[in-house]
Chain A
Amino acid sequence: MAELANLELTAEEEPRMQRDLNAILEHIAQLNELDTTGVAPLAQVAEILGGEKHAHGENLRADAVVASISRDAVMAAAPETDGRFFKVPKVIER
């Protein structure tokens, strides 16, 4: 799971994490007491607030060019950049 989440756990972290996650999963298992057959899953509350309008795209903004944040301002916060692109360690070994 840590690999899937791109996390690395130290040897000290691992047992505590396992204990905690097991306790939380045990708590979550309560949900199985409920029969939810036929209940439609709710992902976003907009669905119960008449999300019709959203579904038909009536409130999409006009498709017009507007100024966005400058590349310089964004790149200034990057750990490594050549000013135009983000630089990362080598991806493909050959």
Chain B
Amino acid sequence: MDLTIDGVRSAVLSGETTAVAVAEAHYTRIAAEDGPAGKGINSFLALSRERALAQAERVDAAVRRGDPVGPLAGVPIGVKDVLTMTGSPATAGSRILEGYLPPYDATTVSRLEAAGAVLLGKLNCDEFAMGSSNENSAYGPVRNPRALDRVPGGSSGGSAAAVAAEFAVASLGTDTGGSIRQPAAFCGVVGLLPTYGRVSRYGLIAFASSLDRVGPFTRNVKDAATVLQVLAGADAHDETCSDQPVQDYVAEMQRPLEGLRLGVPAEYFGEGLDPEVRAAVERTLDGLQARGCVIQPISLPHTRFAIPTYYVIATAEASANLSRFDGVRFGLRASESNSLAAMYRKTRDAGFGAEVKRRILLGTYALSAGYYDAYYKKAQQVRALLAQDFLQAFTQVDAILGPMTPTPAFKLGEKTDDPVSMYLADIYSVAASLAGICGISVPCGTTADGLPIGVQIMGRHFAEGTMLQVAAAVESL
């Protein structure tokens, strides 16, 4: 059986195997290779066996009766632990939510299940999705399945690693500044960031609300298109989720490439770009040109301001969003506090890790009286300029292509002492986050040492179809 969505679904439908057997085979693989923390890959934080097997049995029963089944029937999928799923804890990678059992399903979770997916469990991530290496998880780092001494990227490191290690056929991740696309590049899988508002965030533990998005990891482009199809569309539970019509992504993906204009931003090929990454991306461009794409140099002049802009806006929003973790309604409460104020402080001190505290402090500073204009308002103005760069570029080209990350996956511990150098790992991902456009990371080769390299394709708002068309072409080179 081919471990793709089509492969699993048709094997379950034909009776070649059952959804229960597929789920059990994946659990066996997880048991053999994922743990223990500190030695194994450490991608799963919790397994949802009972829920998964009940769902698999429902799918098998439907197949036996000859009832119609959904587009993800029997497909095993993992869920990043910042999304809620009843029956499993939702920790967001943080001590402050240890043992918290959420009372409802995220819309993305219920949509996957309604489409027949078998949800295997919750995946490790940086605490509150803050990080680029998955080393900020309170439950231990995730190792990169392609090179166990390296990080899987972050913050959705567990989601990328689980798909790369074949623990799941697909997974859900979230991306605020690069947290789907960067780990996809580091682990050699496909990671798709939908347009802001394309996919519901109901049930997502919020980090930075003007940036947070949910999207899939898969091992091929067609699977990403199929999962997006299930996830996309308006949701009465999320007012920020758009009612724009949803395209037929698999059909769009298969349209001929001839004449498509691809923009190549000079700013994404500057200082700091690893020569092997550059060479792989240039080979990809040559291949696309040979397939009939028109390659066009473009400029996104404000690119170098994207990281500082992002770290003002994301931390400001995080400082507000994370104020809800106060020991009152859910999660941890520090014991022996003689006043409410002391209880807040002690709970937050015990529950939050260093990076989360750093970002809350930075965000609080950026929003404080006297600094608001200099930091927060300034960053929002630069955000407008960054968005304009893209809108301007998309008047000339249909999609934009460049390297996903400046380097391949770095070593565990390599950047943990220097937050600024860690932040710079997201240099090619944050601009698309700030502008709200869609993006996808697709594998485009490996380094001489065998480390995966990813190429990023960015599309106009709500033009995931065109982006997937280019992604499919990159995959077929």
Contacts and interface: CB of A to CB of B under 8 A. Distances in A.
Bind each other = yes
A65 interface: no
A89 B384 CA distance: 44
A1 B339 CA distance: 20
Interface residues of A, number: 52
B240 interface: yes
A86 B340 CA distance: 12
B383 interface: yes
Given A6-B323, A20-B419, A89-B343, A31 B361 contact: no
A88 to B, nearest CB: 5
A29 B420 CA distance: 13
Nearest to A80: B333
B381 A40 contact: yes
A69 B382 contact: no
B236 A61 contact: yes
A45 B387 contact: yes
Given A2-B361, A78-B329, A9 B104 contact: no
Is the interface on chain B under 10, 10 to 19, 20 to 34, or 35 or more residues?
35 or more
Contacts, number: 166
A79 B331 contact: yes
Contacts of A34: 302, 305, 382, 385
A24 to B, nearest CB: 6
A11 interface: no
A94 B337 CA distance: 17
Given A49-B242, A86-B329, 16 more contacts: A6-B348, A24-B420, A28-B311, A30-B304, A36-B378, A36-B382, A39-B382, A41-B377, A42-B381, A43-B210, A69-B103, A79-B331, A88-B328, A89-B338, A89-B340, A90-B338
Interface of B: 100-104, 196-197, 210, 236, 239-240, 242-243, 302, 304-305, 307-309, 311-312, 319, 323, 326-333, 337-346, 348-349, 352, 354, 357-358, 360-362, 364-365, 368, 375, 377-385, 387, 391, 418-420, 423, 435-436, 461
